[in-house]
Chains A and B, each alone.
Chain A
Amino acid sequence: MSDHSFVRTEMLDSQAPPMMEGSVLGWIRYNLFSGPLNSLLTILSGLLVVYLLASILPWVFLSSWTATSLRECREVIPLTYGEGTTGACWAVIRERYLQLFYGFYPKELYWRVNLTFVLMLIALAPILFPKLPRQMLYFSGVYPFLGYWLLWGGTIWTPFLTLAGLIVGYLVFNFLNERRGLLIGTIVGTLLIIFWFLLGVIPVAVFLSENVTPLAIEIVESEQFGGFTLSVIIGATGIAASLPIGILLALGRKSDLLIVKSLCVGFIEFIRGVPLITLLFVASTLLNYFLPPGTNFDIILRVVIMVTLFASAYMAEVIRGGLAALPKGQYEAGDALGLDYWKSMRLIVLPQALKISIPGIVSTFIGLFKDTTLVSIIGLLDPIGLSRAIRSDTAWNGIVWELYAFVAAVFFVFCFAMSRYSIYLEKKLETGHR
């Protein structure tokens, strides 16, 4: 037998890992003090954190919640906490938080905003968590119309007829799609809906509310909307609308049909090449020149449309990234099984492409939600616009940090929630490939 030959007679059992692994001390040593450079960085960052907290925390906590003006704050704080203390004047938040949340929405109607918000959470639940009963999605479908009615008031016939028009249009599309083909179905269905919206909804709603029953609640004008209510309205509508539009644009951009493709590319490149502020100015001023005189095109609606278009262009590019990341074999397998374009997109390509794009999509959502503060520039009273209004009150003239800190904190809660949800979703959709 030569020296190189070897035969194992029994297989080794697996053994417990060395002690360091899994203990707290081991973790600290491994992660924080694994070498001289790492130790030094750990100590320096620790000092930086301590320094920052030591500067910020006193300002946050040595503060006044009860004063009625900035001047009073500046007198009270040194008296309570000792000479030379400069703390935050949170009293402004206590006094104005309702305004920051609801804008100039009538006080006695706050319940409508609250109800709309709670219903929004209920409508979102089945979309966010697939474990909930699927029947809840019907409510999610009705919610935009219900929410609109609750917030703006007026007769319920308008949103009802709008919804009915969409449903009828869809049924017509379905009917024609099976008998006359996709193209005719789409064209007739879309035209029907557009004509109904432009010419049918308002007259019929007026007729029904005058002759049958009004079913109306008190009207609130768009000018009275403001604060976080406004941010959430613009943000949520923009988010809900930009995802489907973005998907269509991304598919259009990858399409073989030259005209569809050029239109999508043109739209995406144009919108991405223009600052959102310009689009908002167009919405607030220029658009009126193009519309027939006397048309009342709601300012919030105009802004929502602009924000949605802006976000959907970015969304399209994010999703296109996801589409490009899919191996060609997935498309081919779908084709080889005889699935047509839309089925293969819906069942095979999009579920995977969207999953890959989740971080980008949620980033776009968060960006869109934060961009809603830009509407303050065209005079809408979102939280930032309101802060400016509050500052112009003589009692609070000169207050800056407290308002912005509060607005930032509330925005952070929303955005952080979205970010956490996206991580949860990514984990949930992980099926062990790649």
Chain B
Amino acid sequence: MQQEVLEKKSNPEQDSQPAVVITNMNKWFGKFHVLRDINLTVNNGERIVICGPSGSGKSTLIRCINRLEEHQSGSIIVEGTELSSDLKNIDLIRSEVGMCFQHFNLFPHLSVMENCTLAPVWVRKVPRHEAEKTAMHFLEKVKIPEQAYKYPGQLSGGQQQRVAIARSLCMRPRIMLFDEPTSALDPEMIKEVLDTMIELAEDGMTMLCVTHEMGFARQVANRVIFMDEGQIVESNEPEEFFNNPQSDRTKLFLSQILGH
């Protein structure tokens, strides 16, 4: 398994090509201009943390990357494929981009194992026994193989989120998107999810995380992006970002979330 990941990384063609390129992207909800002129390039293996006050458009931004939200102008290129209204491209990109949601969104009518094998079997056409082997591998990676035959409703929030991560990984994505993965968790469970994400980052996964876990940002991010009013206000390496913020808006935000 590890070897496969390494092979993927050492493929020169993919290394030369950034994972995500967003150019002059704009989006409106009705008349409300949620994302304004976004430019962002994410390289392979890069870990980016996006933070900002609520309503600043950070979730919408990462949801545009797998087209859960549609952008109206500009371009988004994911792994060399441009997102357009062509359904084939969208399905292709979605199977390459994994996503974890704030509320986990596990399928409650399916067991943990079925949650993990559903997409590989139906989208990638992997034989079931193989898909189950892969699922077990990733459930071990997120440290809950013993829960494989339970239903999501029987698990704690932290366990559910780890299953959700395993479910995404079963599709062997090249990019992982995290939309506030720890915001709906009890304080006791945040650490287990963050540990899983840190481990994932150490394996070299390209990650975009919307989160307010600043400790996590310091530890794993290559870059922290601060958004406000639908715009990227500041983008910097974590050390610089936290110790020496440039814009007033960033300073205010940091003082509010780090101040207590």
Query: Is A333's beta carbon under 8 Å from chain B?
Result: yes
Question: For B94, what are the chain A residues with a Cβ–Cβ distance below 8 Å?
Answer: 335-338
CB pair A339–B101 under 8 Å, yes or no, is no
Cα-based distance from A333 to B102 in the complex (angstroms): 11
With contact pairs A433-B152, A434-B108 given, residues A338 and B103 touching in the complex (Cβ less than 8 Å): no
Q: Which of A352, A355, A432 contacts B151 (CB 8 A)?
A: A432
Contact with A along B77-120 (1 / 0, CB 8 A): 00000000001000110110111010101111100000000110
Residue in A closest to B106 when the chains form the complex, CB atoms = A333
Q: Which residue of A lies closest to B98 (CB)?
A: A336
Q: Which of A327, A332, A433 contacts B153 (CB 8 A)?
A: A433
Q: Is residue B154 within 8 Å, beta carbon to beta carbon, of the partner chain?
A: yes
Residues of the B chain whose Cβ atoms lie less than 8 Å from the Cβ of A352: 107-109
Say what secondary structure dominates the interface of chain A: helix
Determine how close the nearest CB of chain A comes to the CB of B138; give it in whole angstroms.
Answer: 14
A348 at the interface (CB under 8 A from B): yes
Chain A contacts for B108, CB-based, 8 A? 352, 431, 433-434
Chain A nearest Cβ from B26, distance in angstroms: 22
Select which of A339, A355, A433 is within 8 A of B123 by beta carbon.
A339
Number of interface residues of A (CB under 8 A): 22
Is A84 among interface residues, defined by CB-CB distance under 8 A? no
Q: Which residues of A contact B98 (CB under 8 A)?
A: 336
**B interface residue count range (under 10 / 10 to 19 / 20 to 34 / 35 or more):** 20 to 34
B66, B91, B103, B109: the one contacting A340 at CB < 8 Å is: B91
Cβ–Cβ < 8 Å partners of A18 in chain B: none
Within 8 A of B (CB), among A320-374: 327, 329-330, 332-333, 335-340, 343, 347-348, 351-352, 355
Docked CA distance A327–B109 (Å): 13
Indicate if A168 sits at the interface (CB-CB under 8 A). no
Task: List B contacts of A351 (CB < 8 A).
Answer: 109
B103's contact among A327, A343, A347, A348, by CB below 8 Å, is which?
A327
A429 at the interface (CB under 8 A from B): yes
B32 at the interface (CB under 8 A from A): no
- Please tell me if the beta carbons of B68 and A332 are within 8 angstroms of each other in the complex: yes
Residues of A within 8 A of B168 (CB): 336-337
Show 6 residue pairs from A and B whose CB-CB distance is below 8 angstroms, ordered by the A residue.
Answer: A330-B107, A335-B94, A339-B118, A351-B109, A431-B108, A434-B153
Chain A interface residues toward B at CB < 8 A: 327, 329-330, 332-333, 335-340, 343, 347-348, 351-352, 355, 429, 431-434
Inter-chain pairs besides A335-B94, A343-B123, A432-B151, 12 sampled, C-beta below 8 Å: A330-B105, A336-B98, A337-B123, A337-B171, A338-B171, A339-B118, A348-B118, A352-B109, A431-B108, A431-B109, A431-B153, A433-B151
